[in-house]
Structure 1
Amino acid sequence: MSQVAEAAAALRQLGAPTIEIGLILGTGLCEVADSLEERLIIPYGDIPHFQTPTAIGHHGRITIGRLNGIVVAALQGRCHLYEGIAPARLAFPVRVLAAIGMQTLVVTNAAGGLRPGLEVGDLLILSDHLNMMFANPLIGPHDASCGPMFPDMSAPYDRELAEKAITASRIHQIPATRGVYAAVSGPTYETRAEMRMYRQLGADAIGMSTVPEVLAAARLGIKVLGISTITNLCNPDMVDQTSGEAVAHAAAGAAPRVARLLRECLTPCNRAATC
């Protein structure tokens, strides 16, 4: 039995039902899972081959429940490349969620705002990304059951889901816009020169996660909605010092808005591609 199959079997034994949506909660956003109903909480340590994150603001457990009647598995925290985790391991939870039924993946993160005009607390609905980690979780022997060897990445984020998120944000007056996320390895924050470079490359926000999970989902043919919470501003001409604690605090302040947005844009209609 593969490690993915072992982990999926363990989740079943612990009471996990077939899920429809996977939700990965980034730094400071773990409380978004509190909005789920009929919750089942499973620590990562109880799941074979799962690794527990060490970063600030990552709880290290799965909460499974219902949102608008849809069964959702929320990963409260993720591991990162800077923790010394191999790229393929970063994609492991996505593959496990797919094995228990996931059709749609929502990835969230805390990010630095690169684009002028963004403010702390704004939400960025991802339209694309730049993989500046110089690592790819799909490298290695190809398993045809996981999808094509060369997955297409022309549209890694589902346009329909992104549009639903933007529409919901306007209706409920949640500051949100679409943009491009740059993923770097970390754990250091950016220098002024790096901020200027990433702006010139077309990035609107920058962080240290998300892309490995999106790459795994793309190979599996899973629809993805990406949401960045802007927790600090990356202005090369006016730099304030940033800390992990400050980022987690800012993200936690935005968690209720993220939860509201998900309640409004993730509806039972997502169960079928024809909706």
Structure 2
Amino acid sequence: MWEKVQETVKYITEKTGFTPRYGIILGSGLGSFTDDIEIEYTLPYSEIPNFPVSTVEGHKGALVFGKIGQNKVVAMQGRFHYYEGYSMQEVTFPVRVMKYLGVEKLIVSNASGGVNKFYKVGDIVLIYDHINMMPDHPLRGKNEVRFGPRFLNMSEPYSRKMISKAKEIAVAQGIDVKDGIYLGLQGPTFETLSEYRMVKILGADCVGMSTVPEVIVARHMDMEVFGISVITDMGNEESIEAVSHDEVLQAARNAEPKVRSLIRELVARHS
């Protein structure tokens, strides 16, 4: 893994000469955030050594390099999911690469199903913690100490400082945001009514099929992390809304202007 990461970093560095400070992973329906970036380079995943290629609709499949304000960023237009058949090491490989390109702060976004009765479709949730219910762990196997420690402290998976700054921005912009705990499941099925009940009983506010592995690996390498989720469907103890992937994408797109504004200002203003 170490050698593959360094090979990929070398290729990207030679292609772009770019040292980003922020990494951004754009989830379902949120790929248009790249319109807010002053783009300098775009590299399709298919051209990058050792990179998987996203197979999910709504995930475009490119690394975008540029600036937001004075801060250099690299954004993933489309992420990789365990349910696509990739290993956890492949799913999180781009996060390792980002670290060695120079990224210090990682922003992850996703679409999720809500179980908190105070949520509604279209709500924006600032993730402050997560519950890992994925069937495999991205740090399973021999630990590479050059990446990080064998036993990782996860007491602050999501940066309290970045959450606080995002809330200030939301208030200033009149954007309603919620706090929430995200639970990660494998997918690709949407949850049954009983599974939604389980998610709520376990103490989570929303559930999805991504994010958790990437955050674990980012923290393994001591990157600061900010997570944001768009509620695209709701389930409660009595009923569940029938939902399709197209409806999830549309709900995420409807919330996208506010999400984009929050992330843009957070990158531009956060030191």
Q: TM-score range by the shorter chain?
A: over 0.9
Q: Distance in 1 between matches of 2:73 and 2:269?
A: 12
SS in 2 for 1:91: helix
Q: Distance in 2 between matches of 1:26 and 1:159?
A: 22
Q: Which residue of 2 aligns with 1:36?
A: 37
Q: Which residue of 1 aligns with 2:248?
A: 247
Alignment of 1:87-166 (within 5 A): 87-166=88-167
Q: Distance in 1 between matches of 2:191 and 2:269?
A: 40
In 1, are the aligned partners of 2:162 and 2:270 still within 8 Å (CA)?
no
Amino acid at match of 1:220: M
Q: Distance in 2 between matches of 1:29 and 1:185?
A: 21
SS in 2 for 1:42: strand
Q: Distance in 1 between matches of 2:67 and 2:268?
A: 11
Amino acid at match of 1:164: K
Alignment of 1:1-275 (within 5 A): 2-267=3-268, 269-270=270-271
Q: 1:41-99 deviations in whole A, cap 9, x for unaligned?
A: 11001110111111121001011110121001000011101101101111100000001
Amino acid at match of 2:58: G
Q: Distance in 2 between matches of 1:79 and 1:188?
A: 16
Amino acid at match of 2:44: P
Give me the CA root mean square deviation.
Answer: 1.2
**What's the CA shift for 1:207?**
0.3
Q: Distance in 2 between matches of 1:121 and 1:167?
A: 20
**What's the CA shift for 1:178?**
1.1
In 1, are the aligned partners of 2:39 and 2:64 still within 8 Å (CA)?
no
**What's the CA shift for 1:159?**
0.2
Q: Which residue of 2 aligns with 1:273?
A: none
Q: Distance in 2 between matches of 1:203 and 1:38?
A: 37
**Paired-residue identity, %:** 39
SS in 1 for 2:49: coil
Q: 1:155-179 deviations in whole A, cap 9, x for unaligned?
A: 1000000111112112212121111
**Runs of 4+ in structure 1 over 6 Å off:** none
Structure 2 alignment gaps of length 5 or more: none
Q: 1:95-152 deviations in whole A, cap 9, x for unaligned?
A: 0000110000001001111101211111110110000113111111111100111110
Amino acid at match of 1:96: V
Q: Distance in 2 between matches of 1:155 and 1:74?
A: 23
SS in 1 for 2:32: helix
In 1, are the aligned partners of 2:193 and 2:239 still within 8 Å (CA)?
no
Q: Distance in 1 between matches of 2:39 and 2:60?
A: 19
Structure 1 alignment gaps of length 5 or more: 271-275
Q: Distance in 1 between matches of 2:268 and 2:159?
A: 15
**What's the CA shift for 1:12?**
1.2
SS in 1 for 2:146: helix
Please, what TM-score do these two structures have when normalized by structure 2?
Answer: 0.97
Q: 1:217-265 deviations in whole A, cap 9, x for unaligned?
A: 1110000000001111122323221111111111112121111001222
**What's the CA shift for 1:266?**
2.1
SS in 1 for 2:42: strand
Q: Distance in 2 between matches of 1:164 and 1:51?
A: 33
Q: Distance in 1 between matches of 2:235 and 2:15?
A: 43
Please, what TM-score do these two structures have when normalized by structure 1?
Answer: 0.95
Q: Distance in 2 between matches of 1:27 and 1:9?
A: 29
Relative to structure 1, is the Cα distance of residues 247 and 150 closer, same or farther in structure 2, using a 3 angstrom cutoff? Answer: same
Q: 1:166-215 deviations in whole A, cap 9, x for unaligned?
A: 12112212121111000000011111111111101111110000001001
SS in 2 for 1:227: strand
SS in 2 for 1:146: coil
SS in 1 for 2:16: coil
In 1, are the aligned partners of 2:165 and 2:270 still within 8 Å (CA)?
no
